[in-house]
């Protein structure tokens, strides 16, 4: 049996405790298009942003969130990072630096001609940014 997609993308949902910094990071620092804020049941709010054909969904439940997960891609099981392939990696790294973002891995070459950086979003999720072609300092 083959997976029969109806959309050429995967949407990612994050449960967040503080939507303000999360929306600002994905919209203002990384430059994703903000789609909307909408209520979700049973209670809570979702902020939707567009990343290519994929959506990043930041959901704030109507109950307080106590636990935060440990930082790092190998800190525990589950979704620990996602990768966005870009053509302006150096610019994004500078914007992340200017915004005071913490890097899991700073800008570096990982194979001849390919570059990447891994940055933490405000709630500790790792966003890997990669670029094929020149991006080094």
- At residue 61, φ and ψ (nearest 5 deg) are -70, 165
Q: Residue 137: its pLDDT value, please?
A: 45
Q: Is the domain defined by 79-137 classed in CATH 3.40.50.920?
A: no
Q: Residue 109: its pLDDT value, please?
A: 92
pLDDT band at 68 (very low <50, low <70, confident <90, very high): confident
Q: Residue 126: its pLDDT value, please?
A: 94
Q: What is the mean pLDDT of residues 25-52?
A: 95
Q: Can you give the residue ranges of every domain in the chain? A: 11-64, 79-137
Res. 63: pLDDT tops 90: no
Domains 11-64 and 79-137 share a fold: yes
CA 60, distance to chain mean position in Å, is: 16
As a whole number, the mean pLDDT across the chain is 90
pTM of the model: 0.88
Distance CA 89, CA 130 (A): 7
Q: Is the domain defined by 11-64 classed in CATH 3.10.180.10?
A: yes
* Element holding 35 (H helix, E strand): strand 33-39
Token code pair at residue 65: 């969130």
Res. 123: pLDDT tops 80: yes
């Amino acid at each position: 049996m083959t997976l029969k997609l109806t959309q050429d993308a995967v949407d990612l949902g994050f449960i967040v405790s503080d939507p303000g910094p999360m929306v600002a990071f994905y919209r203002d620092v990384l430059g994703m298009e903000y789609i909307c804020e909408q209520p979700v049941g049973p209670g809570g709010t979702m902020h939707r942003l567009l990343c290519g054909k994929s959506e990043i969904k930041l959901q704030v439940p109507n109950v307080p969130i106590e636990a935060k997960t440990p930082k790092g891609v190998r800190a525990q099981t589950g979704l620990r990072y996602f990768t966005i392939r870009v053509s302006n990696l150096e610019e994004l790294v500078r914007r992340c630096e200017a915004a005071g973002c913490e890097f899991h891995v700073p800008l570096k070459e990982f194979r001849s001609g390919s570059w990447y950086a891994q940055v933490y979003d405000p709630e500790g999720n790792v966003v890997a940014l990669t670029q094929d072609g020149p991006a080094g300092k």
